[in-house]
Chains A and B, each alone.
Chain A
Amino acid sequence: MIKKEIQVKADLLGSNKAVAATIREKLSQRGILTLNLISSPGAGKTSLLESLASRIRPEHEMAVIEGDIETERDAERIRAQGIPAWQIKTGGACHLEAKMIGKLFPEIPSELDFLFIENVGNLVCPASFDLGEHIRCVLLSSPEGDDKPKKYPKVFTTSDCLLITKADLVPLLPFDIERAKKEALEINPALQTFVISSLTGSGLDEFVEFLKISLQNLRQKYA
């Protein structure tokens, strides 16, 4: 019997990163701006997508991939807005992985402008898995409290964009919007921040403007 020490130095998420990079490249070639929405359960991801539908169409085409542990409910909510949606049921897994998106890829129409991926409601696990998105958005709803960024640093440091949601509830809560922004920007100064309410529609126009500019930038880069 021989004993041997093997030096490896391999990234444990290397296979996920490789699949994600392939997906991102294909999406970029097709000019489809892709977003990965991450938040704790119930922060308002599906509600945001529902209220974006009428603001994005008819000028632009959007589609949605829904990730949930169980049920088709979120995909059905999106389809009710006339938007194509695919439901991924993870069957217990607390996050989406790039290979799950890869499997769906053949079904995604190529004439899209925006593809939204709604991750499983969880502020921790999805942060470690690149899905091939161009923009990662973390949603923080006002009832969750303004102290969350430093308690869940991974998701806030890896995101490009912070959406403070349920702004309409802020007057009822001890939630300090400036404190939440400051906490988040201290650990990620590059975050683009938006304060929105899907219920009243406040802040959504600014966010849609940001999406359109990001789409233009992507297409210029890949033209």
Chain B
Amino acid sequence: MIKTDIIIIGAGPVGLFTVFEAGLLKLKCHLIDALPQPGGQCAEIYPKKPIYDIPGYPSIIASELVEKLMKQIEPFNPGFTLGETAQTIEKGSDGDFIIHTSQGTAHKAPVVAIAGGLGVFTPRKPPIENLSIFEKDNVHYIVKEPAIFNDKNIVISGGGDSALDWALYFAENFAASVKLIHRSENFRAHNDSVQKALEYANDGKIEMILNSQVSGISKNNDQIVLGVDSKNNEKFNITCDHWLPLFGLTPKLGPMGDWGLEIQKNAIKVDNSTDYSTNIDGIYAIGDVNTYQGKLKLILCGFHEAAIMVQSAFKKIYPNKNNVLKYTTVTGIKGF
């Protein structure tokens, strides 16, 4: 069981900055995120785009902001559970919250800060009949353990970075064969990856099936058979071991919707006149995930909410201690 002062759900910019504000009050944090990397929307949707409204930065690239936040919180040594979704929450006999992830990892703390943004980033699944039956063995939306694909015949669908990157990776690493199916001839991925994939296609390392899309799936012993339709109305089958439909991730509110929190239009209602507390004592919601009258889904607003929220969390954890606000210029940063 991982024990800490504040469990932060969501390692987006707001979750990350919460570690800093909490650290100034000597509160320790542990972050949980469904994504394998920190940064939330900044990392997943627009890592290479400039942001112009972070105070003090006339312009900063989203991925650079995440790097700087990671650097800023380093002295406070936060814990991370990445690639796992916070699934259930319950109250232990001592009043602490216990949160279990999709993979069963347990976390315990007196305070929970939900910085879940627009929700859990979940794979976009193609609307194909019976697909779910194959999700256990043959169909994968995220590559967690590349080793299981050794010596396997793999089909990848999609035209974005993850589809191209994994096609290249498997072509270079031990797969028996790699086929890439894409609806058009244009790719959304970085030019370098596209050029490399086209070279590999020329060398026979990747078979490119363009202007085509998978429309059905069935079983053939341990393998699967994908029914493919092409734009010029040809139909054919491909037999393979694994299919990776990689059409990107889209945020969905997810498990937090069932935790007894007051939800309004896919966001958690909070008390913005005091401390961004939710209707459950000890659970706060900050950043894009919360709502109140006049809410703005902006990074700087989330940062402000984090600073206010940790003051209240401190009083909850140490009811008999008085905290006096000190400037960082006066105290410096004392890590732990």
B is bound to A: no
